[in-house]
Amino acid sequence: MVTATALEAELLELAGSVPDPELPVLTLHELGVVRAVRVGDSGSVEVDLTPTYTGCPAVEAMSADIERLLHEHGVHEVRVRTVLSPAWSTDDITAEGRRKLESSGIAPPRPHRATGPVALSLSPTHTGAPTRTGAANRTGGHGTDAAAGAADPVRCPHCHSTETELLSRFSSTACKALRRCLSCREPFDHFKEL
């Protein structure tokens, strides 16, 4: 493994300070998508960026923002490289990023780092009846939330209740689902686990 130089570490911190275009409460470092910075012999800089999912529409905006910021700090030649392996996971979100998501009213993803093959199950494309997590689920309530399971329910970021229900698999962005708390009745986004 090659050790980063002091300049590369400084530029990595700078690139990581760029706000995420879809979740501006988080920086790219807190989201865990800026992977590395390399400075070439000619002074050119290459930044490795891993999207949250293949085809993420925010990659172009992230790349342009990183390039702009590094140019503003005297780097003349910047190239942002999209790196797909290792794949990004919601486990890459920092503890500070999770705290910021929750403070802004978004339920952070639950830790889940899978090992081995990932099971795939196909279901109808419509949401159907809302699915719940929490005690209602464990006592034979209204269906199950396949992503959550009774052991690790989605907590409401407003009142911290585990009694929540899925309203839609997609919310304002593809990486979030829309849920509602059954205790405080507030709707909220949940950053889906990946």
Average pLDDT over residues 136-160: 60
Average pLDDT over residues 130-138: 53
Domains of the chain: 6-91 (3.30.300.130), 105-109+127-194 (no CATH)
- Residue 113 pLDDT grade (very low, low, confident, very high; cuts 50, 70, 90): low
pLDDT at 139: 37
Q: Give the sign of the dihedral formed by CA 22, CA 149, CA 87, CA 34.
A: positive
Mean pLDDT score across all residues of the chain: 85
Closest by CA position to 93, among listed 13, 33, 16? 33
Q: Which ranges in the chain belong to alpha helices (H)?
A: 6-16, 28-31, 59-72, 95-103, 135-138
| pTM, 2 dp | 0.79
Q: Which residues contact 55 (CB under 8 A, 6 or more apart)?
A: none
Dist CA 171 CA 191 (whole Å): 9
